[in-house]
Amino acid sequence: MSKHLQAIRGMHDILPERIALWHCVEDTARQVLAGYGYAEIRTPLVEVTDLFKRSIGEVTDIVEKEMYSFDDRNGDSLSLRPEGTASCVRAAIEHGLLVQPQRLWYRGPMFRYERPQRGRYRQFHQIGVEAFGLAGPDIDLELILLTARLWRLLGLSGFRLEINSLGDADERLAYREQLIAYLASHADQLDADSLKRLHTNPLRVLDSKHPQTQQIVAGAPSLMDHLGEETRTHFERICRGLDDAGVAYRVNPRLVRGLDYYNRTVFEWITDDLGAQGTVCAGGRYDGLVEQLGGRSTPAVGFAMGLERLIELLELAGHTSEPPLDAYLVAVGEPAQAAAPLLAERLRDAVPALRLLTHSGGGSFKSQFKRADKSGARYALVLGETELERGVIGVKHLREEGEQRELGFDELAAFLRMPG
């Protein structure tokens, strides 16, 4: 690029030619979420840094090295949000929303200082969904079914669903001890990263990609065996529900998530079509987080999906946008040009849904028709000297065969209301 001014690394402009795909995902998601009774919430992009430290976890990569943090003029440390759950929980506590069950969703940009890669950006967009105050497995199931419906409506297939249960806090603690003991006995065979995590975040070693570490992990004690009766039943009921709903899934006992606040259910929707960043949607239960952030103990489940990743999949699937315009108004000659704006206004009054672009800048019939064609409009509306004299508007089909016709205003309005 020869320009000296350019967008910040890993942060991308979304250009008009691609915006239709964003609308498609956003509108479909909004429609699905409304259908399940979820309400949208919007929170600031910036929060006190401490909020993320206390929720995501001090020793996670996100908090340790990926946050955009800065001091404001008061000397308070603030951060661009790296994810949405923490803000959502903070807002819910702050406004007393948690006195009753709440189903909330949000969307917007998130920021993480990572090395950009396919499907991974420094500013990226998520839609997140959170359900508060509901402890039963039915709500975990509802969230997963909701996502499955969304994929269906978007025409996306080929995802696989992986689920796991991390157990309650005490179950996990007991397992953690055993896992550390096991891993420590094989310490000499672990890769450096896993060795570092052995005592800080041993569960993360389970989903290491390192081949040799994976071999060790294969022989590790299973988290599933450490689940208590209640946790196990909770998990089984989700699996049963998925079976009954006909949603295929795979229990992956090595699925853990990178954020500290998860307990019990975790799940991921994964695709093989995006290279290394295959997780399209992920989430889980976080029953302890609300209390941890100063609220009353409140069970909660949620997930987030990456919009850039979904949109790239839609592009791969060959999604194209609809022709955006119904009509393009061609006006040649001074009197016609003077009359065109008023004609356009009257048409918009008469046909509120009409998508009409009026030519601007004058020019010959030829050049205006070229514009009309490129605009993608279905019809050209023609206003020239002759039409003006006769009090009619020419209507020409740009996308199909058909004679150019001359219609009076009322006829034209009727035609544009019910074209074709």
Q: Which residues bind RNA (CB under 7 A)?
A: 1-2, 4, 6-10, 60-62, 66, 83, 112, 114-121, 124, 126, 193, 197, 204, 208-210, 257-259, 268, 275-282, 304-306, 308-309, 332, 363-367, 369-370, 372-374, 380, 382, 384-387, 394, 396, 398-399, 404
Check if the beta carbon of residue 102 is closer than 8 Å to that of residue 131.
yes
**Tokens matching residue 268:** 């991921």
Considering the complex, state which of residue 136 and residue 408 has its C-beta at the smaller distance from RNA. 408
CB of 77 to RNA, least distance (A): 19
CB of 260 to RNA, least distance (A): 9
Check if the beta carbon of residue 128 is closer than 8 Å to that of residue 84.
yes
Considering the complex, state which of residue 277 and residue 292 has its C-beta at the smaller distance from RNA. 277
Considering the complex, state which of residue 119 and residue 299 has its C-beta at the smaller distance from RNA. 119
**According to the annotation, is 417 in a ligand binding site?**
no
**According to the annotation, is 292 in a ligand binding site?**
no
Nearest-CA neighbor of 85 among 55, 115, 63?
55
**According to the annotation, is 262 in a ligand binding site?**
yes
Q: Which residue has the tokens 């949607």?
A: 281
Q: Is 200 helix (H, G, I), strand (E, B) or coil?
A: helix
Distance CA 176, CA 190 (A): 17
**According to the annotation, is 47 in a ligand binding site?**
no
**According to the annotation, is 237 in a ligand binding site?**
no
CB of 347 to RNA, least distance (A): 17
**What is the CB-side half-sphere exposure of residue 333 using CA atoms within 13 A?**
11
Contacts of 140 (CB under 8 A, 6+ apart): 234, 238, 264, 265, 285, 301
Rg of the chain taking only CA atoms, in angstroms:
28
Check if the beta carbon of residue 400 is closer than 8 Å to that of residue 356.
no
Considering the complex, state which of residue 225 and residue 334 has its C-beta at the smaller distance from RNA. 334
CB of 96 to RNA, least distance (A): 27
Considering the complex, state which of residue 64 and residue 230 has its C-beta at the smaller distance from RNA. 64
Backbone angles phi, psi at 94, to 5 degrees: -60, -35
**According to the annotation, is 257 in a ligand binding site?**
yes
Considering the complex, state which of residue 74 and residue 320 has its C-beta at the smaller distance from RNA. 320
Check if the beta carbon of residue 14 is closer than 8 Å to that of residue 22.
yes
CB of 340 to RNA, least distance (A): 13
**According to the annotation, is 112 in a ligand binding site?**
yes
CB of 321 to RNA, least distance (A): 17
Longest dimension (CA), the chain: 95
Extract the annotated binding site: 83-85, 112, 126, 130, 257, 261-262
Extract the annotated binding site for L-histidine: 83-85, 112, 126, 130, 257, 261-262
